[in-house]
Amino acid sequence: MNSASEFPWSKIKESADRIFAQSTGKYLSDIEMKVLQGSWEGKSYDEIAKTYGYSAEYLNKDVGNKLWNKLSKALGERITKKNFKEALRRAYEAESLPPASTNLPLQTFTENIANLQFPEGSVALDSPFYIERSSIDALCSETVVKPGSLIRIKAPEMMGKTSLMTRILARASAENYHAVYLDLSAADRAILTNLDKFLRWLCLMVSRQLKLENKLNEYWDTDILGSNDNCTVYFEEYLLAATANPLVLGLDEVDRIFPYTEVVEDFLGMLRSWHEKAKISDIWQKLRLVMAHSTEVYIPLDMNQSPFNAGVPVELLEFDSQQIQYLAGVHGLDWSDGQLRELISAIGGHPYLVRLAMYEVSCGNISLTQLLENAASESGIYSSHLRKHLEILQHNPALALALKKVVNSAEPVELDSMQIYKLHSMGIVRRQNNYVIPRCNLYREYFCRVLG
């Protein structure tokens, strides 16, 4: 058996890079590779620090500590500066074995770590990183199987609306219901400005997901019936009649149509009428609606025509400390109560902000201390997220001025309804009746700086 010292650094560097790429999707950073090479050559942290101009304490307690933790996760055993040579040698030799002789525990562990995906978009159904809001998830599961039900999911951007809707539709599919998901933000603007085009688009998209033939020309009577009536007939006489099983229609990003007065009033009124029809019509009891939106509709609607005061309302709140602690554990982060409090103090319990922090720290890209120190800076992990919001504000000076008042005030600030709706839908403020405050210190600090 060869000793670790007989393996050249070039082989071990190649092996280490491959191990980390497989387990985290990223290669070692330059400083991590320097610490690894220096340690391989038997140097102390003091010697490595003098060579590269860093402090020994930083290389030991920050870079080195994270490096050995990452190696431990990747290799499935406890790794330290003292034993890492033999561990890397064994990993190198295991990689050289035929596939049938591959170390199964290491392979299984690597596959688990590979599930650590960058937090963007909906959380997959089988993902361990989905945090179930037990009472809400249970309520939605119970509601979607009820005839003619309507579920309204409301929350600011990136709070988990689509992830919840995905699970509601999966629950429906498990009952052999037909589950259709439509993202209204995918509709072209030209369609959203014309009610007839929009409703025909809706019918066609539902038909396709149900794998039904397009029969719009057979049912659409433009000489006598209006667009809403044509759409209703198409659903009642064709889509709902085509199967004995219920249809669950998930409409995501409903906010997308709010600015289009040519469409929004009639469309929302039609959805409300469908919900009401279910109270007296067997065919309409087969339809269950799930809607997701960030704010209330911008324009006033007749209370009897609005779907926003009917059905079961579901409002997604931020994660609480217990949920955040659980999520840290799933990421393999053994954070103390103090570290969790520091994170929550900076970014609150916003799901996306929390997930991104844990992803970056778990991957070893940054320490929690560094993350918090640079969170609101242009070099921090939230820079792209923050610039996205800034770009929206730069195109709306009045809204930017309103937010400037909010972040520069120690007390809640009163704004008009439209400003509250828009800032809340962006997820950067909390509402307190007609007053708002910054959602978290991250937004207060960043927008204080960039808005002057």
Q: Which among 171, 170, 157, 154 is positioned nearest to 120, based on CA atoms?
A: 157
* Alpha carbons 149 and 168: distance in angstroms, whole number: 12
**Among the ranges given (23-37, 54-68, 247-261, 415-429), the one the predictor scored with the smallest mean pLDDT:** 23-37
Across 297-323, average pLDDT: 77
**Among the ranges given (78-92, 177-191, 402-416), the one the predictor scored with the smallest mean pLDDT:** 78-92
**345 is written with which tokens?**
């103090």
Is the pLDDT assigned to residue 39 strictly greater than 70? yes
Give the ranges where 363-440 is alpha helix by DSSP (H).
368-374, 383-394, 397-407, 417-426
Is the pLDDT assigned to residue 100 strictly greater than 50? no
Task: Supply the CATH classification number for the domain 375-450.
Answer: 1.10.10
Q: With bands split at pLDDT 50, 70 and 90, how would you rate the model's confidence at 98?
A: very low
The per-residue pLDDT for 112 is 40
C-beta separation of 88 from 4 below 8 A: yes
Cα–Cα distances in angstroms (integers) from residue 79 to residues 39, 84, 431, in the given order = 13, 6, 47
* Alpha carbons 311 and 150: distance in angstroms, whole number: 5
Strand-pair partners of 414: 435
Is the pLDDT assigned to residue 264 strictly greater than 60? yes
Across 244-248, average pLDDT: 95
Residue by residue, DSSP assigns 256-270 as: GGTT-HHHHHHHHHH
Whole-prediction pTM:
0.71
Q: With bands split at pLDDT 50, 70 and 90, how would you rate the model's confidence at 364?
A: confident
Higher-confidence residue of 448 and 309: namely: 448
**Torsions phi, psi of 414, nearest 5?**
-85, 130
Is the pLDDT assigned to residue 292 strictly greater than 70? yes
Look at domain 134-315 and name its CATH class: alpha beta
User: pLDDT tens across 163-178, in order?
Assistant: 999 999 998 998 899 9
Helices and strands (DSSP H and E) totals, the chain: 23, 8
What's the number of CA atoms in the CB half-sphere (13 Å) around residue 418?
Answer: 9
Place of tokens 């959203």: 192
Q: Per-domain residue ranges for the chain?
A: 4-114, 134-315, 375-450
Across 171-188, average pLDDT: 92
Across 140-145, average pLDDT: 91
